[in-house]
């Protein structure tokens, strides 16, 4: 059994023939005309619209002493048809501005969206949430907080943000993932990571 994987092709195996901007608003979209090699030989020509989303950081906020996670609830236009409505329970998150490191965004957004100072910021994973049509990369981060300071409604009014802070026992948050009631990808990944690493983290923080 082959336990290692490497891509079968690389950059020289595709060619971008034409790129045109088809929408230029708050978000941007380009139409790409390109070709790439096929696994069975030859090439295929394709045309795709690409959503230029920009990169983002999501940060899982955890209080190891209280064994609690801090999640935020806000309205999401992409979830208008969600079973329980468009208010989702998510991780603190924000767009990466030019020159910012992922850890800087984690610190900034934890303050803006939850009113919390963070310590021990570390990476969990970096992934493409929707590579079929979007160029966004998400840096998923972890940080420790004092959950006793977590309360209220936050966000930047000029950006239309209305963000409510929730403190949940870690086990309760894991159960919401298992029940399918947390349906934001980064929150699911982050909480499953925490379920695997929680005992180690609590041990480190109590040492």
Q: How far apart, in Å, are the Cα atoms of 120 and each of 34, 86, 126, 174?
A: 43, 32, 18, 22
**From 20, 81, 158, 159, active-site residue:** 159
Contact between 140 and 60 (Cβ < 8 Å): yes
Encoded tokens for 65: 């002493």
Return the closest-CA partner of residue 94 out of 80, 110, 77, 115: 110
The 3-state DSSP class for residue 31 equals strand
Confirm whether 113 is a catalytic residue.
Answer: no
Phi, psi at 194, each rounded to 5°: -65, -40
In eight-state DSSP terms, residue 149 is G
Residues 11, 20: Cα–Cα separation, whole Å = 20
The residue among 88, 68, 61, 69 whose CA lies nearest residue 77 is 88
| Catalytic residue annotation | 159
């Amino acid at each position: 059994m082959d336990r290692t994987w490497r891509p079968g092709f690389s950059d020289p195996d595709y060619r971008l023939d034409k790129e045109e901007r088809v929408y230029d608003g708050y978000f941007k979209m380009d139409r790409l005309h390109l070709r790439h090699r096929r696994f069975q030989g030859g090439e295929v020509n394709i045309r795709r619209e690409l959503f230029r989303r920009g990169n983002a950081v999501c940060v899982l906020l955890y209080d190891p002493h209280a064994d609690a996670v801090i999640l935020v609830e806000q309205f999401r236009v992409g979830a208008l048809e969600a079973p329980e409505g468009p208010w989702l329970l998510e991780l603190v998150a924000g767009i990466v501005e030019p020159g910012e490191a992922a850890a800087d965004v984690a610190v900034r957004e934890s303050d803006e969206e939850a009113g919390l100072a963070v310590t021990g910021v570390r990476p969990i994973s970096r992934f493409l949430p929707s590579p079929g049509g979007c160029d966004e990369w998400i840096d998923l981060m972890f940080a420790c907080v004092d959950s006793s300071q977590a309360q209220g409604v936050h966000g930047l009014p000029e950006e239309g943000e209305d963000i409510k802070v929730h403190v949940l026992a870690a086990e309760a948050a894991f159960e919401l993932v298992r029940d399918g009631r947390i349906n934001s990808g980064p929150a699911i990944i982050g909480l499953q990571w925490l379920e695997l690493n929680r005992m180690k983290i609590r041990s480190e923080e109590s040492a």
